[in-house]
Structure 1
Amino acid sequence: MSEADTSLQVELDSGKRVKVKSASVMLRFEKPAPAALLAAATAQAAEIDLDLAWEFAPEGDFHFADLARDYFSASAGPELQAAMLLRLFEAPHYFRRAGKGQFKKAPEDIVKAALLAIERKKQVAAQIEAWAAELVAGQCPAPVREQLYRILFKPDKNGPEYKAVVQAAKTAQRAPLDLLTAAGAIESPYQFHWQRFLFDQFPKGTKFPAGLAAPAPAADLPVAAVQAFSIDDSATTEIDDALSVQGLGTGTVVFGVHIAAPGLAIAPDSPLDKVARERLSTVYMPGWKLTMLPDEVVQAYTLAEGRDCPALSLYVTLDEATLEVRSHESKVERVPIAANLRHDKLDAVVTEASLTGAAPADYAFATELAFAFRLAQALKARREVVRGKPESFNRPDYNFRLAREEGDEGEPRGHETVQISTRQRGAPLDLIVAEAMILANSTWGGWLAEHGVPGLYRSQASLAPGVKVRMGVKPAPHAGMGVAQYAWSTSPLRRYVDLVNQWQIISCVRHGRTAALAAPFKPKDAALFSILSGFDAAYTAYNGFQQGIERYWTLRYVEQNALAEIDAAVMKDGLVRADTLPLVFRVPGTESLPRGSRVRARVQGIDLLTLELHASLAARLDEAAPAKADEADEEAAEDEAEPVGGLQIALTLDDGEAAPAAAASAGQPASAAPAPENQAG
């Protein structure tokens, strides 16, 4: 419209007038109209052969108008010049910008590499399109199946497999897990949970390296003058602990706690140690387990009956009448194991009445067990004084057994018939073992501190709600246990922390006051902090998996037994706990009911993939009984660790927004909190 020395005033198609600097103008023309020129130039630009244009371009900097005249004709007008300008801007792999209207052609090798990259990108896009079409059609491409768990939980969002699943989910308008299940990517719900755990925790597989033999301990270990016995479940193969009682009837009794001692032969940083440190703990689940140590090592050091087994022993001398602790002594020795008692076979026989003399005690080690039970009761009472309140065992332990064909000793496949039985917490045999282990872990924890030897401790500052158990390298009170310090030391065959502490305790036994100089781990050793951090993470993940897979089998039990209704007690926020099953689930309509109210829930459906049980409120059975404050606090703390179903995946259909795992799932992921403190450990 008008032009000054340094600027122009132009009118846009919209009618708006704007001021433009002269230095910003690259093309001047009078006709045709701007819109018509741009339309014509766009059409012409699409026909420009970039390879030919690159050949015509000079080696140095050039102006787009000059290249237009070389490419089209010397009389190339505004339309053709504009077409060349548009085409040059579209092809940065051929031409680089060198200033206002100026360009420079890229070197030949750069052009070839860029063209190859563009072609590969087209091929990948076509592959994504083909894979997405297969998924929508109900077929899973092999590359997607192979990358399934990475796509869902640790995705490379630029990977073609991930993009294919996202594109297919959008096209089919289905939740990703529904889509993948329909396409056959997920073999079965059980395999989904199992393989996801292995992908996350055992990416290299579960087999031990070849050639890991069990090293023999020193042959000159003295043999203890005791007849020890262990108390475990019949399925237990890693027998870590045994007990002995000497001096009954003399007024002074020596109570022995004997712990399997792989630490006598497994050296720090040895191949076996590296394997144990990588696994950090045995993984337990119904019908299967992944041991921390190879079976050959476990069998060499387990406290099997009929053998003199290498052991780290704690002998506590007590007044037989008052049960006052007079002294304690630790030894490295061979311990004769007279029997492996199995509580699942003895619980009905070894009762409180038989242990206290109110009923006949017709079983082996009757007098030793009677004393051990009296001692356990006394130790528990003393801890409860420190604790400030008694320990409550309001809910039973649940045992899972899978019915399998004879000779079938492989991994479960998820279709087995599951049997769930209960065992009351705090049963006499349980109490004996639990208190003996607490005594050993607390005593050895204090003994390490006396010698200035670091260890790995568990502590809890108070019993207030929300105060969790923590691990550290210095002794500190454990409020939940009611002890001055607590160092896991009694399960070295199945927990790496216990193996580390065993090395430290053995140093104290062998070197006394100079143990701090000889112990494998010195004060402020960075390796201890590394072990602590790794163990805490692995133990939490393993317990989370165990809770989740036990929930799977519980839901299978509901299915297999066609349970239509389940009686339960109200917890909070619409959650209820089944009366006779280890199952917490959501029941709409219970949100306003007080904690402890009993209800009957009607089963509406089960999703074994998301581990959810869908239920409705069938009836309210009774009013809630008022709970004591202490019990309510403990129940609330346990509720925090309860898995309630639901599954969350890392695959996103929109930027920053997680996709629903499945159409039926709107719950949060199951908690991966560690199990309650294992007192018998």
Structure 2
Amino acid sequence: MPDTPISQGNFVLYKQRPARVLQAGERVEIELEEGKPVKVRAKDVVLLHPGPLERLSDLKPQEGDLETAWELLAGDTTSLAELAELAFGDFTPATAWETWRHVADGLHFRGTPEAVEARTPEAVEQERQARAARAAEKEAWDAFIARVREGQTEPEDERYLKELDDRANGQRPDSRILRALGIADSPEKAHDLLLKLGRWDHAANPYPPRLGVALNQPASDLIELPDESRQDLTHLPAFAIDDEGNQDPDDALSLDGNRLWVHVADVAALVPPDSEADLEARARGANLYLPESTVTMLPPEATRQLGLGLSEVSPALSFGLDLSDEGELVDVEVVPSWVRVTRTTYAEVSQRLDEEPFKTMYHLAQLSEERRVQEEAISIELPEVKILVHDGQVSIEPLQPLPSRMLVSEAMVLAGEAVARFALERGLPFPFTTQPPPDTFERPTTLAEMFAVRKTLKRSQQTSIPAPHAGLGLEVYARATSPLRRYLDLVVHQQLRAFLRGENTLGEEEVMERVGAAEAVTGGARQAERLARRHWTLVYLLQHPNWRGTGVLVDKRGTRGTVLIPELSLEIQLPVPEDMLLDANVPLILTGVSLAELEAHFRIE
């Protein structure tokens, strides 16, 4: 039959369906089972029998013995016509169709009409076992889906549910389970189903894995602290001022006359460029701060050895800052040092601002802040909270705007300005932090004004070319006070250390390669932190279903408002009265939480 041209009345196969040829030519007109004529290409049909076939309805089931035919032919090859004659005693369109259906089934036979292979008994047995396994798997799958529809699972369902875990964690692009259930296929829907099934509880935070952020602690080795000359500043009382419970104290302050010293953990002494620890920190970009845990960019041993105040005496890189009466930096000294640090809290220091050295420190910070304000620095003080998770219970504590916070933050800004000037004056390649100015300058005073101004701010950038940081009101700036927590701060310290020791520093291209590497990963980490904080805030609301509180209207579009809840540092969208003014207090009552969708629902009381 391979050389037989297609002609009228032939019985052919089209896309594995029986068809009758109505008219031959360049385009073959065929009739399918539905009775409607279709024109197709000649190469798209396969001749099964020359016919004539008057009606497709003539293809009725035939009585024969295909299994005996298989036993006789096992291991051999024949044609469809010969197989039909052997099994049915005749080769007609009806027996050709019955025979082809068995060939297409693939258990005993396989091939083409011209060459039908009778499979060996071993191959047939393997195929039978495979089909039985597929049938059993389908039965198990169907039973699993039926259980899930009822909100139930069994221990043997683990192999299926792992797929749902991976979908919710963003580790796979789709879910067979969600499709089978007719549920929209998304990580959020997978998360929601896992919660409904009780496989996940509210503590499951899928955002770090969904964003590709590592959750394992680094295990790279650190070098030994070099035996080298350091300036002894242990005679100066130094204070690491942090929130209660802080685990990585990497900066401290002390005073020598009117000179403000900012001491920073000397991480570069243990983590030189391209060391194992440096490469791992570069791959992480920064510490990951989640309410339930902290994942560091450096091995925990780095904090144990270098955290200021964790040992009686600590190695530091110290910045001595001299300010004018107008708060201008007039001199900076950068030295490796030994410091003796006392750990304390913002609350404690706020109670001691009338005592030395805190009184003078605070005065210097005020001078610096006033100078920056005159340079149109932008201050946005939206409410902040500290979210803690202990044994699954969430607590949310508002961070009070204590004056000691301004003291520390201003000292860190001064250190960043001083370091940037130090590098600029010496031609030292550096990752400077810059920020273009907003299109219009406004000095916000209310929450709504701060919310509006925040939306106009342009993103800060890390660049090797020094430029102003408009938000800080500085001509030049570099982040330099958190080398235990931020990789580019560590690069700053590595450059300073090499310069002070008279060693080769990184070139501009090498610095920017590190900037690119860090920025490639820190965006995901910061987003994971934001989403995790919202997740745990919603868990807090689930644990307090009768929550009532007050929000502030900070934005409004018609009757749709954005309300900020200060005690939760949570922004929500909800309908508001058309005549409600910005900064109005909004009494709220919680009506529901959709955890997987990260949505909380409120109504105005």
1:94 deviation in Å?
A: 5.1
Q: Is 1:421 equivalent to 2:398 in the alignment?
A: yes
1:447 deviation in Å?
A: 3.1
Q: Aligned pair in 2 of structure 1 residues 256, 135: CA closer, same or farther (>3 Å)?
A: same
Q: Residue 84 of structure 2 corresponds to which residue in structure 1?
A: 68
What's the secondary structure of 1:584's corresponding residue?
strand
Choose the corresponding residue for 1:234, options 236, 244, 248.
244
Q: CA separation in 2, counterparts of 1:296 and 1:18?
A: 76
Q: CA separation in 2, counterparts of 1:20 and 1:499?
A: 69
Q: Residue 494 of structure 1 corresponds to which residue in structure 2?
A: 485
Q: CA separation in 2, counterparts of 1:528 and 1:20?
A: 61
Matches within 5 A, 1:288-303: 288-303=293-308
Q: CA separation in 1, counterparts of 2:68 and 2:320?
A: 89
Choose the corresponding residue for 1:371, options 357, 360, 364.
360
Q: Aligned pair in 2 of structure 1 residues 567, 238: CA closer, same or farther (>3 Å)?
A: closer
Q: CA separation in 2, counterparts of 1:325 and 1:19?
A: 87
What's the secondary structure of 2:462's corresponding residue?
strand
Q: Residue 568 of structure 1 corresponds to which residue in structure 2?
A: 552
1:261 deviation in Å?
A: 0.4
Q: Aligned pair in 2 of structure 1 residues 18, 316: CA closer, same or farther (>3 Å)?
A: closer
Q: TM-score, normalising length from structure 2?
A: 0.78
Q: Residue 340 of structure 1 corresponds to which residue in structure 2?
A: 343
Q: Residue 58 of structure 2 corresponds to which residue in structure 1?
A: 37
Contact 1:399–1:421 (CA<8 Å) still a contact in 2?
yes
1:92 deviation in Å?
A: 10
Q: CA separation in 2, counterparts of 1:46 and 1:537?
A: 70
Q: Aligned pair in 2 of structure 1 residues 12, 501: CA closer, same or farther (>3 Å)?
A: closer
Contact 1:477–1:483 (CA<8 Å) still a contact in 2?
yes
Q: Residue 100 of structure 2 corresponds to which residue in structure 1?
A: 85
Q: Is 1:163 equivalent to 2:163 in the alignment?
A: no
1:604 deviation in Å?
A: 1.8
Q: CA separation in 2, counterparts of 1:11 and 1:219?
A: 93
Q: Residue 131 of structure 1 corresponds to which residue in structure 2?
A: 144
What's the secondary structure of 2:340's corresponding residue?
strand
After superposition, give the CA deviation of every residue in 1:623-642 in whole Å (9 maximum; x if it has no partner): xxxxxxxxxxxxxxxxxxxx
Q: Residue 312 of structure 1 corresponds to which residue in structure 2?
A: 317
- RMSD of equivalent CA atoms: 4.1
Q: Residue 330 of structure 1 corresponds to which residue in structure 2?
A: 334
Contact 2:432–2:476 (CA<8 Å) still a contact in 1?
yes
After superposition, give the CA deviation of every residue in 1:383-404 in whole Å (9 maximum; x if it has no partner): 2333x365243x33323466xx
Code of the residue aligned with 2:70 in structure 1: it is L
1:150 deviation in Å?
A: 0.6
Unaligned regions of 5+ residues in structure 1, if any? Answer: 248-252, 351-360, 403-411, 619-681
Q: Aligned pair in 2 of structure 1 residues 282, 175: CA closer, same or farther (>3 Å)?
A: closer
Matches within 5 A, 1:527-546: 527-546=513-532
Q: Aligned pair in 2 of structure 1 residues 302, 106: CA closer, same or farther (>3 Å)?
A: farther
Code of the residue aligned with 2:523 in structure 1: it is A
Q: CA separation in 2, counterparts of 1:21 and 1:243?
A: 85
Unaligned regions of 5+ residues in structure 2, if any? Answer: 1-7, 10-21, 440-455
Q: Residue 142 of structure 1 corresponds to which residue in structure 2?
A: 158
Q: Aligned pair in 2 of structure 1 residues 557, 463: CA closer, same or farther (>3 Å)?
A: farther
Q: Aligned pair in 2 of structure 1 residues 104, 505: CA closer, same or farther (>3 Å)?
A: farther
Contact 1:577–1:585 (CA<8 Å) still a contact in 2?
yes
What is the percent sequence identity of the aligned residues?
Answer: 21
Aligned residues: 556
Contact 2:251–2:263 (CA<8 Å) still a contact in 1?
yes
Q: CA separation in 2, counterparts of 1:221 and 1:54?
A: 94
1:304 deviation in Å?
A: 0.8
Choose the corresponding residue for 2:288, options 261, 270, 283.
283
Choose the corresponding residue for 2:497, options 493, 503, 506.
506
Q: Residue 637 of structure 1 corresponds to which residue in structure 2?
A: none
1:79 deviation in Å?
A: 0.9
Q: Aligned pair in 2 of structure 1 residues 568, 47: CA closer, same or farther (>3 Å)?
A: farther
What's the secondary structure of 1:615's corresponding residue?
strand
Contact 2:590–2:602 (CA<8 Å) still a contact in 1?
yes
1:328 deviation in Å?
A: 1.9
Q: Residue 654 of structure 1 corresponds to which residue in structure 2?
A: none
Q: Aligned pair in 2 of structure 1 residues 4, 238: CA closer, same or farther (>3 Å)?
A: closer
After superposition, give the CA deviation of every residue in 1:270-325 in whole Å (9 maximum; x if it has no partner): 44334434443233344643333344331221111883321111222334x44443
1:241 deviation in Å?
A: 1.3
Choose the corresponding residue for 1:461, options 436, 441, 447.
436
Q: Residue 13 of structure 2 corresponds to which residue in structure 1?
A: none
Matches within 5 A, 1:520-531: 520=506, 523-524=509-510, 527-531=513-517
Deviation larger for 571-580 or 236-245:
571-580
1:434 deviation in Å?
A: 1.3
Code of the residue aligned with 2:374 in structure 1: it is V
Q: Aligned pair in 2 of structure 1 residues 53, 444: CA closer, same or farther (>3 Å)?
A: farther
After superposition, give the CA deviation of every residue in 1:72-109 in whole Å (9 maximum; x if it has no partner): 32x33221012223443454995344xxx433539879
